[in-house]
Amino acid sequence: MWESENDSIAVARDYANGVPPSAKHALKTDGFELRGNSWYVATDIPSDLLVQVEGVNFHLHKYPLLSRSGKMNRCIYESRDPDLNKIILDDLPGGAEAFELAAKFCYGIAVDLTAANISGLRCAAEFLEMTEDLEEGNLIFKTEAFLSYVVLSSWRDSIVVLKSCEKLSPWAENLQIVRRCSESIAWKACANPKGIRWAYTGKPPKVSSPKWNDLKDSSPSRNQLVPPDWWFEDVSILRIDHFVRVITAIKVKGMRFELIGSSIMHYSSKWLPGLVTDATNAGDEGSTSTTSNTSSGSNSWKGGLHMIVAGNKEDHSAIQAKDQRMIIESLISIIPPQKDCVSCSFLLKLLRMANMLKVAPALVTELEKRVGMQFEQAALVDLLIPSYSKSDTMYDVDLIQRLLEHFLVQEQTEISSPSRQSFSDKHMYDGSQRGVVPNAKMRVARLVDSYLTEVARDRNLSLTKFQVLAEALPESARTCDDGLYRAIDSYLKAHPTLTEHERKRLCRVMDCQKLSIDACMHAAQNERLPLRVVVQVLFSEQVKISNAIANSSLKEANDSQFQPLVTNRKTLLEATPQSFQEGWATAKKDINTLKFELESMKTKYLELQTEMESLQRQCEKVTKQKQSSAWSSGWKKLSKLTKISTLETPENESQHPIIAEQTKKVPRRWRNSIS
């Protein structure tokens, strides 16, 4: 590699500065002149050949073109027309701009090679067959040297060239320009970020793009911290097929799958307007997007589907939908196989758009399996996917059923193969977190119950679909059936025309023993529930109370061998006469038993109330006695102040025997009453 990029550009320009002095057929000219839509060579010799490229006319001379272009040789000499003076080259890659540079090169005029024009000029040189057989140091050699020594050594130039190749298919592919630029970008993206010494956020440079290992004083500080996602923004401007090539090359280089997944989500946020991801701002730290930074330039890049389509709005929408479908299919195919490389929310939103745009069924199935791998991370809002098929239901319940099946299959696979457990799950259930964080099935059970509550409001949702989805998870996944009861109640409320048999069938998916006290109180007063279900709820609550009382009494006796009276639903049903199948007689008997217990509780309450009233009367009596003794002592003090003689004289005691006697007796009564 050359020492510096400025030197390499100088060498490349020396190669491209016209015809070497040894060329005897050089034609002296001062340059090209543009008049209207036609180019003319500034020379005294009149032109004898007209070349038309995409509607642009070039008035040239045969001899400079024949000396360096094999294509022109064949067009002129194989036509067997000596007076041929016009050639049409509408299929020339790069168009009129590339041919203008190639024609100037044939005339020996200096051509400024840049990253923006090198790919078109390289393809045009290949099309015109400007090989070394005709002239040493021909245009193919010059452009190849510039690509190899200048473009591929620069990150930004590689991005620019790869972006310019979008209009050069299939020439750029056949000449390996796309492959070489993709591998160069992948190598730089996977390299140590500490080697980056220039702005990496997609901002256009003021001067020519520096080399990868350029360490000039004008570059940013060497101690600048570079985030690992620095390359997201630049790569996201590429077309989907080139982006796939870059990501594929990055995978081969060994990039971490989390970064690859984040780059895919960032790309999706720019190219799929209807898809909002959590990683939209990834790689934008301290920078602005490439689109906004380069919108004022003539060669601006657009991070979206910006197409000029001749036709009405419907045709434009159809073409845009086709392009978005291709983007989604390509993204699905390059998502890394690891479990947590992308978020479940992103996968569900991608699945929503895939169903809406009718993506290939095989890719949709693959995407559904990916969602099933991390279904416990989903959110309710992402599961509410509309039904885009001919189904009458508002939401695609069948899709959620398939996702749940994929999740159960994945769970079973992880149980049988513990080594396949993901990194996040291993850390989630280690140590103290094992007893705090619920397992995946419990999280999915709560998620499914919430989903059923939402879709139950749809009047077109059949009872069978509701029941199948509610029973898809095993009973062990739910420790509490309150969410399921809420979903059943919502379904009964939205479907008031259900028969008694259908309501009983719907309530079978719920375990009354797993309801909380609040849910039991609500169910006991719920008129929409069948009467038998209400009886089961009351009976299960009674059994819970009995078990709690018995358990507390046995704990007081330090009986560690105690077992609950009814431990599970199966035992409860076995302990109940024929599991409530003998008819209404058994139900009425249970109701009478509950009434008897309620009457007993009322009797105990009345007894406690009587005792409380008795104690209250005694307290009032004691209070009155205390007040009377206080008054007597007060009068005694008043008599001492008004009389001249003291209260200790016998006369005073004889005059008031009754009062003295009362003052002596009352304290004794008070003490006796207290004792």
Distance in angstroms (rounded) separating the CA atoms of residues 141 and 16: 10
What sign does the dihedral 225-230-234-237 (CA atoms) show? Answer: negative
φ/ψ of 56, rounded to 5, equals: -105, 130
Contacts of 275 (CB under 8 A, 6+ apart): 268, 269, 346, 349, 350, 353
The DSSP code sequence of 197-255 is -S--SSPPPSSSPPPTT---TTSPPTT----TTTTHHHHTTS-HHHHHHHHHHHHHHT-
As a dihedral over the C-alpha atoms of residue 217, residue 219, residue 223, residue 228, rounded to 10 degrees, the angle is -160
Q: Is the pLDDT of residue 273 over 90?
A: no
Which of 275, 399, 162 lies closest to 264, judged by CA?
275
pLDDT at 516 over 90: no
- Give residue-wise pLDDT tens across range 96-115: 999 999 999 998 888 999 99
| More confident site: 472 or 638 | 472
Task: Give residue 495's Cα distance to chain centre.
Answer: 34
Q: Are 257 and 341 in contact (CB under 8 A)?
A: yes
Residue 9 has pLDDT above 50, yes or no: no
Helix-strand-coil split of the chain, %, nearest 5: 60, 5, 35
Q: What is the pLDDT of residue 308?
A: 31
More confident residue, 176 or 435: 176
If one compares 213 and 495, the residue with the highest pLDDT of the two is 495
Residue that wins the pLDDT comparison between 579 and 389: 389
Q: Mean pLDDT score of the chain, rounded to an integer?
A: 75
DSSP one-letter code for 440: H
pTM assigned to the model: 0.68
Question: Model confidence over 280-317: pLDDT tens digits?
Answer: 333 333 333 333 333 333 333 333 333 333 345 557 78
Transcribe 484-553 into DSSP letters. HHHHHHHHHHH-TT--HHHHHHHHTTS-GGG--HHHHHHHHT-TTS-HHHHHHHHHHHHHHHHHHHHHHH
Residues 203 and 234: beta-carbon distance below 8 Å: no
H or E segment and range at residue 352: helix 344-356
Please report which confidence band the pLDDT of residue 124 belongs to, taking 50, 70 and 90 as the band edges: very high
The b/e string for 59-76 (b: 16+ C-beta within 10 A; e otherwise) is: bbbbebbbbbbebbbebb
Least trusted range by pLDDT, from 1-15, 72-86, 171-185, 247-261: 1-15
**Could you give the percent of the chain with pLDDT greater than 70?**
68
Evaluate if residue 176 carries a pLDDT over 90: yes
Mean pLDDT lowest for which of 56-70, 259-273, 506-520, 557-571? 557-571
CA 46/CA 384 separation, integer angstroms: 73
Q: How many C-beta neighbours within 10 Å does residue 27 have?
A: 17
